[in-house]
Amino acid sequence: MSLEETGKKIQSIKFGKRKVLVRFADGDELSFSKNAFTEQPLYAEKVLSQDEYKALLVLASEDKITNAVLRYAVKELHTKHETIQYLYGKGADEKTAYRLIYKLEEEGLINDELYATTYARDVAGVKLYGRNRVLFDLKHKGIEDEILSSLQFDELTELSKARKFAALANKKYAKNTNTKKMYKVTSALLRRGFDEHIAQEAARLEFVMGDPELELERLKAEAQRVKARYSKKYHGYDLTRRVALSLARKGYPYEDIKAALEEFDHEDYGND
Per-residue pLDDT of the chain (272 residues; tens, 9 = 90+): 344 455 788 888 888 888 888 899 888 888 888 777 776 788 888 888 888 888 888 888 888 899 999 999 999 899 999 999 999 999 999 999 999 999 999 999 999 999 999 999 999 999 999 999 999 999 999 999 999 999 999 999 999 999 999 999 999 998 888 888 899 999 999 999 999 999 999 999 998 766 677 777 777 788 888 888 888 888 878 888 888 888 888 777 777 777 777 766 544 444 44
Q: How far is CA 204 from CA 16, 70, 189, 210, in A?
A: 65, 48, 12, 14
Q: Could you tell me the strand order of the sheet in which 7-15 lies?
A: 29-33, 19-24, 7-15, 47-49
Neighbours of 108 (CB within 10 A): 9
> With contact defined as beta carbons under 8 Å apart, do 104 and 65 qualify?
no
Residue 31 main-chain phi, psi, to 5 deg: -115, 140
Q: What is the pTM of this model?
A: 0.68
Q: Measured between alpha carbons, how far is 134 from 127 in angstroms, rounded to an integer?
A: 10
The closest alpha carbon to 143, from 124, 120, 166, 163, belongs to: 120
Q: Measured between alpha carbons, how far is 196 from 199 in angstroms, rounded to an integer?
A: 5
Q: Measured between alpha carbons, how far is 171 from 173 in angstroms, rounded to an integer?
A: 6
The closest alpha carbon to 117, from 161, 72, 154, 74, belongs to: 154
Q: Measured between alpha carbons, how far is 93 from 53 in angstroms, rounded to an integer?
A: 19
> With contact defined as beta carbons under 8 Å apart, do 185 and 203 qualify?
yes
Residues 6+ apart with CB under 8 A from 143: 79, 81, 112, 115, 116
